[in-house]
Amino acid sequence: MSRSLREVVFVDGVRTPFGKAGPKGIYAETRADDLVVRCIRELLRRNPSLPPERVDEVAIAATTQIGDQGLTIGRSAALLAGLPKSVPGFAIDRMCAGAMTAVTTTASGIAFGAYDVAIAGGVEHMGHHPMGEGVDPNPRFLSEKIVDPSALVMGSTAENLHDRFPHLTKERADAFALASQQKYAKALANGQIGPELVPVATRSAEQGWGLATADEPPRPQTTLDGLGTLKTPFRPHGHVTAGNAAGLNDGATGCLLAAEEVALELGLTVGMRLVGFGFAGVEPEVMGVGPIPATEKALASTGLSIDDIGLFELNEAFAVQVLAFLDHYGIADDDERVNPWGGAIAVGHPLASSGVRLMTQLSRQFAERPDVRYGLTAMCIGIGMGGTVIWENPNWEGAAK
């Protein structure tokens, strides 16, 4: 039996404001699954021409799938959001690229014809579930030297990147981090960041009910001198600090995917068109280089080159990780195509949710940039991986890139 693949489109994306993890964070007493529920309901509210029963799958990622992030969160969140009980759902995990993998997995099903419409996203409440909670690494990892002990500590892998590429200095990392804060602040002031946010009711036993409407992590007062004074917690006299890395955060994301023909049938907006994707494994000790071979895979499978990419949304888990990617491709640290609205160093990185944040921002940038045809979202992934997804701008007017 021969089959033809269908075009898959990103219709819409939303996210909660991102919060700081911990007892003083805005979501300290808010459940993780309730954050996902808000995203699902908002997608349906913003796209009223989509009958809820037309949603064929709900895929939600979480890195730590226990407690309020457990119970097959894709299915449980779908029920809690009020979707018909006929709509199935599942949980997925690829650490930081969980939501990215939720998108590529459901998009593949749409292309194949198994689904017409899907919701994909991710959540991480690092205040409730610190990274590594409940994990029991097999002792063979270390006893048989399958990985170096540093491979299990993400900050240490970033220090390893600085060792491997000594020209990626702390000064460059700090400068990149400062630019991230500045670009985020400018995008916020311009109204480019904000329309995708879903207000979330928050609860505090001490302060009562509140409403989260803005990201908590950004530090607009950041200065280069201030970054230079921060401690290096992963190594004495090291390079990685709280200022040039993403923080510990809480938040959720969600997006609506559909076959292009179905989106047009239902009157849904086409935000961007999926072109291809790639995932790759690397040495776990330097997991930050993962986006490089993942991007090579994605480019090879689509017949594109890095010169065809007009916008880059790169997850800033650590500044050095993004710098390694840029250096590999000969892209300047301050290239205006890269994270034009800032990145995770400013806004935060609630692990499994971040992939859809990247996609949502790229889709909104496409709407402003009809001169750009292709964009790329990429991220490094714990335990030595990288992921890249390439998208096409439906607003492209035929100009260069």
User: Which pLDDT tens digit goes with each residue over 16-38?
Assistant: 999 999 999 999 999 999 999 99
- Of the candidates 125, 129, 162, 349, the residue annotated as catalytic is 349
Q: Is the pTM value of this prediction over 0.75?
A: yes
Burial 274-290 (b: 16+ CB within 10 A, else e): bbbbbbbebebbbbbbb
Q: What pLDDT is stored for residue 268 in this prediction?
A: 98
Average pLDDT along the chain: 97
Tell me how far the alpha carbon of residue 151 is from its chain's centroid: 21
- Give 109-157 pLDDT, tens digit per residue: 999 999 999 999 999 999 999 998 999 999 999 999 999 999 999 999 9
Catalytic residue (choose from 39, 96, 125, 128): 96
How far apart, in whole angstroms, are the C-alpha atoms of residue 224 and residue 194? 26
Q: Which helix (H) or strand (E) holds 344?
A: helix 344-347
d(CA 359, CA 363): 6
Per the annotation, the verdict on 39 as an active-site residue is no
Of 39, 162, 255, 380, catalytic: 380
- Annotation marks residue 380 as catalytic: yes
Check if 96 is active-site: yes
**Whether pLDDT at 265 is above 80:** yes
